[in-house]
Amino acid sequence: MSREILLKKTVDNLVKLPNQKLMEVSDFTEFLLNRLDDNLVTDAIQKLASESKSFNFLESEGELYSKADLKEIYR
């Protein structure tokens, strides 16, 4: 089903709803849009953090601890 047909069908159905149900549908669509926005922001932040070079200095730093530093080894 094409987007245009789906939109027309949805609008036709919305016109038939009483005001209270129409308000529920409106609230739900706002919820879906907010969730979509939140997901887009989260994905953008994750991409930005993964491509960041902020912690590159750690790659050149040697290991601070070894097995010899452990007091007890668990198996």
Has residue 36 been placed in a domain? yes
Has residue 75 been placed in a domain? no
Number of domains present in the structure of the chain: 1
Closest CA to 12 of 4, 24, 1: 4
How far apart (Å, rounded) are the C-alpha atoms in residues 33 and 55? 34
* pLDDT, tens digit, 9 for 90 and up, residues 34-45: 999 999 999 999
* pLDDT, tens digit, 9 for 90 and up, residues 4-46: 999 999 999 999 999 999 999 999 999 999 999 999 999 999 9
Say whether pTM exceeds 0.95: no
Has residue 7 been placed in a domain? no
Residue 44 tokens read as 């953008």
Whose structure tokens read 């750690």? 58
Has residue 13 been placed in a domain? no
- Flag whether pLDDT at 66 surpasses 90: no
How far apart (Å, rounded) are the C-alpha atoms in residues 61 and 32? 45
Query: Could you tell me the residue range of the domain that residue 27 belongs to?
Result: 18-51
Has residue 24 been placed in a domain? yes
**What is the pLDDT, as a whole number, of residue 12?**
96
